[in-house]
Amino acid sequence: MKQYDNPDQKEWLDLCKRAQFDKSTLDEAVTNILEDVKENKDAALFKYAERFDGVKLTSLTVTQEEIEAAANEVSEDLKQAIVLAKNNIEKFHESQKEAPQKIETTKGVECWRKSVGIEKVGLYIPGGTAPLFSTILMLAIPAKVAGCKEIVLCTPPNKQGKVNPAILYTANLVGVTQIFKVGGAQAVGAMTYGTETIPQVYKIFGPGNQYVTKAKELAQQSGVAIDMPAGPSEVLVIADETCNPSFVAADLLSQAEHGVDSQVILLSDSETVISEVNKEVEKQLAALPRNEIAQKALENSRSLYFSDMNTCIEFSNEYAPEHLIIASEKADDFIDKITNAGSVFLGNYSCESAGDYASGTNHTLPTYGYAKNYSGVSLDSFVKKITFQKLSKEGINNIGNAIELMAEAEGLQAHKNAVTLRLKAINN
């Protein structure tokens, strides 16, 4: 990790930049895949499974027999852990339900808003070096709570044509309606356009590599919504002298091991803390199975010393991290000063891994600075808000003249007439 000592605010913009990679051929490659899927449907998906996943599939659909067999391959301990996480995530997202509230804006004029689940949603679940079955919990559970009727899941198979057992067990547990063996940008294409096997959906959720991310971005141009813009995973830790350096190092590495393009940032008002954390990082890194991935991520990462905690918070708000950890016994003192972050972890025992798996909050969060203007996935991500209004004779009488005047001022005579005719019918 590169170290910086009290950098001037003029340098912050550069210090907030994420890792950059050559994307010169990305747009063309992904556009070609999407066009191929749109044109050739299942045939394209079988072709890409052989090319990218190294498997010649005879069917894209995961069968009930495969789901039942997978359940037997998942240990009882892991099943219990998944169920515990499921219960907490359900509880947190159930609390986000909003009952319609009728408001009488003027006597005789009632207005209200109702949440309606998006009928068809698609979930993309990576299945490569880290099969993210936990993301199924984070996406399918709020989808079910929201009342989504169809929950389609796409995930890549292995070279034997099988899907990770934990992915299948979790998907079945939480009520995913259909599961398909499709990965990469082609999976996004299938859910965007529909194929002979895979249905078209109205909104696509889930993380992925740069090809999946670009495919989701392009899908929006075809009228399919996505959860949010996304980049590689990241964490920013603000640590003071009351932190535990070994905890902080573990938190930094937990994000660094996601991928070589991940980024971790350490801020502190103590040079001693930075030194101790960096020593712990080196020590713990050596013992990690994914240490090569984490090491490359650390090359894109940095630690910064600032003279006080308030400046650390200011820098964090400028960076707008996906995950923000305040490793301090005084973490609660800074809550009101946090303006840009996907999800915040307060104190020495609130590790980011808790939010990734089982505390109850959602781990699908804005990255790459998008926390400045996007929220993480929540129940609201799976619903549409439909407004209603009901006017009585008294209501149209009370606001009718104002509507007529405004419509006439805008030169929209038919709008005015729609009111005038009603007023005449009432008052004659």
Verify that 199 and 152 share a domain, yes or no.
yes
Do residues 259 and 157 both lie within one domain? no
Say if CB 86 and CB 77 are below 8 A apart. no
Q: Is 72 annotated as a binding residue?
A: no
C-beta neighbour count of 342 within 10 angstroms: 26
Determine how many CB atoms are found less than 10 A away from the CB of residue 284. Answer: 16
Whether the predicted pLDDT of 288 surpasses 90:
yes
Say if CB 198 and CB 357 are below 8 A apart. Answer: no
Q: Is 363 a catalytic residue?
A: no
Q: Are residues 422 and 294 in the same domain?
A: no
* CA atoms of 334 and 338, how far apart (whole Å): 7
Task: Identify the domain boundary among 226, 251, 273.
Answer: 226
The average pLDDT across 332-356 equals: 98
pLDDT at 128 over 80: no
165 with 314, same domain: the answer is: no
- Indicate which CATH number applies to the domain containing 332: 3.40.50.1980
Q: Are residues 96 and 203 in the same domain?
A: yes
Kindly state whether residues 327 and 189 are assigned to the same domain.
Answer: no
Structural domain includes residue 378: no
Q: Are residues 151 and 37 in the same domain?
A: yes
pLDDT at residue 428, rounded to an integer: 83
pLDDT digits (tens, 9 = 90+) for 62-81: 999 999 999 999 999 999 99
What is the average pLDDT score of the chain? 96
Name the active-site residue from 276, 280, 323, 363: 323
Determine, yes or no, domain membership for 368: no
Say what the pTM is. Answer: 0.95
The CATH number linked to 409 is 1.20.5.1300
Better-scored residue on pLDDT, 427 or 193: 193
For residue 209, say whether it is annotated as part of any ligand binding site.
yes
User: Is 108 contained in some domain?
Assistant: no
- What pLDDT is stored for residue 230 in this prediction? 84
Confidence of residue 33 (pLDDT cuts 50, 70, 90): very high
pLDDT over 70, % of the chain: 100
The verdict on residue 380 lying in a domain is: no
Q: Residue 105: CB partners within 8 Å, gap ≥ 6?
A: 111
Number of domains in the chain: 3
User: Residue 105: what pLDDT?
Assistant: 98
Is 353 known to sit in a ligand binding site?
Answer: no
Catalytic residue among 66, 276, 280, 322: 322
**What 8-state DSSP symbol labels residue 207?**
-
Residue 422: domain span: 392-427
The pLDDT, as a whole number, for residue 343 is: 98
Q: How confident is the model at residue 132, as a pLDDT?
A: 92
Beta-bridge partners for 324? 236, 344
Q: Which of 166, 191, 226 is the last residue of a domain?
A: 226
167 and 48 co-located in one domain: yes
* Domain match, 86 and 170 both: yes
Provide the residue type at 339 as one letter: T
Domain finish residue from 169, 197, 226: 226
Task: Confirm whether 323 is a catalytic residue.
Answer: yes
134 with 45, same domain: the answer is yes
- 389 annotated to bind ligand: no
Does a structural domain hold residue 333?
yes
Same domain, 205 and 260: no
Structural contact between residues 259 and 235, judged by C-beta atoms closer than 8 angstroms: no
The pLDDT of residue 404 is 98
